[in-house]
């Protein structure tokens, strides 16, 4: 039997955080791409179903072509279920919450999950919580609050609860991915978890909304980009969490909503006031400070699954 150290994730912090940054960037662009599909007549349920379907079929075909084993080892099933549950809860809770509360408030509640990961991971590993790293997470969260400028005028408990479910799901997904054994293939694991999400979404979609495809080439381009970029970002997120601790990776994901604000200003000509600009700068400063802290810290003990 392999030891806990042998079965745990391999550590490569710089590469892991680089993958996380690219994943956050692609998720931000995918969000804007989905908005183009919505403007052309589609809806969140359809986009979610299609991107789960596209990712499952593409990664499943790729795994089969590369002769990767699609049947996971028994030891990996708990982690895979956790990842699938996290991905499904995050996507649906987050996108459904905006039907009841302002999107900026939903984003702010959802992005409490990096803070939760930063607290939960060291507790589970029975090591002290890094106060400096926690301070970086708090600074990033304050920056997001300024960048998003959430509205508190329309507070509906359903939207708040759904956004909180999305945040808790993000915590589950990140910690479950860190517990996936090093022997599990990333492509095959992603195909399996996304297939579970696709099946669950296929059961949920008829109960929530009617399928609605976009009209026009711009809408279809947005839908295709949202699906493709989601798949690549998901793979990069999984790889990042295989290479680096969940806390620093989660902190990097604070860049996603900040990048969305900047990209919406640069590409869609949406307004960016001075307070939002200060918020974006604070997020960047928090990420830089966290990176410097990680470089100065001694190599952590191997994660035990």
Over residues 262-278, the pLDDT tens digits come to 777 776 666 667 887 88
Report the distance separating Cα 228 and Cα 172, nearest Å. Answer: 24
Angle, CA of 113, 10 and 295, to the nearest 5°: 70
pLDDT tens per residue, range 278-291: 888 888 788 777 76
- Pick the more confident residue, 60 or 266: 60
Report which of 174, 182, 181, 274 is spatially closest to residue 234, judged by C-alpha positions.
174
Percentage of the chain with pLDDT > 90? 24
pLDDT tens per residue, range 231-252: 999 999 988 888 888 888 888 8
Report which of 234, 288, 299 is spatially closest to residue 13, judged by C-alpha positions.
299
Q: Can you spell out the DSSP letters for 244-270?
A: S-HHHHHHHTTHHHHHHHHHHHHHS--
Q: Is the pTM of this model over 0.85?
A: no
| 66 CA to centre of own chain | 26
Rounded to 5, what percent of the chain is helix, strand, coil? Answer: 75, 0, 25
Q: Taking residues 32-50, report their average pLDDT.
A: 88
Please name the residues in contact with 144: beta carbons below 8 A apart, sequence gap of 6 or more. Answer: 107, 108, 111, 254, 257, 258, 279, 283
């Amino acid at each position: 039997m392999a030891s806990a150290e042998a079965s745990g994730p391999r550590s490569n912090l710089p590469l892991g955080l680089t993958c996380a940054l690219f994943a956050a960037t692609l998720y931000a662009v995918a969000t804007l791409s989905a908005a183009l599909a919505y403007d052309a007549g589609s809806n969140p349920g359809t986009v979610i179903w299609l991107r789960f379907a596209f990712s499952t079929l593409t990664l499943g075909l790729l795994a089969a072509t590369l002769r990767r084993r699609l049947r996971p080892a028994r030891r990996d099933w708990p982690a895979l279920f956790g990842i699938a549950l996290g991905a499904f809860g995050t996507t649906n809770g987050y996108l459904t919450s905006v039907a009841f509360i302002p999107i900026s408030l939903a984003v702010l509640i959802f992005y409490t999950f990096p803070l939760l990961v930063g607290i939960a991971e060291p507790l589970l590993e029975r090591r002290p919580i890094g106060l400096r790293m926690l301070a970086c997470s708090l600074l990033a969260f304050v920056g997001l609050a300024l960048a998003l400028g959430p509205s508190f005028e329309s507070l509906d408990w359903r939207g708040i609860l759904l956004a909180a479910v999305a945040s808790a799901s993000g915590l589950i997904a990140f910690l479950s991915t860190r517990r996936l054994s090093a022997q599990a293939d990333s492509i095959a694991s992603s195909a399996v978890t996304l297939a579970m999400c696709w099946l669950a979404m296929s059961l949920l979609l008829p109960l929530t909304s009617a399928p609605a495809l976009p009209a026009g080439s711009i809408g279809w381009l947005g839908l295709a980009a949202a699906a493709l970029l989601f798949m690549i970002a998901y793979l990069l997120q999984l790889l990042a969490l295989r290479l680096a601790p969940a806390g620093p990776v989660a902190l990097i994901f604070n860049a996603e909503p900040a990048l969305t604000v900047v990209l919406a200003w640069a590409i869609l000509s949406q307004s960016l006031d001075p307070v939002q600009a200060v918020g974006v700068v604070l997020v960047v400063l928090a990420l830089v400070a966290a990176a410097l802290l990680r470089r100065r810290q001694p190599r952590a003990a191997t994660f035990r699954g």
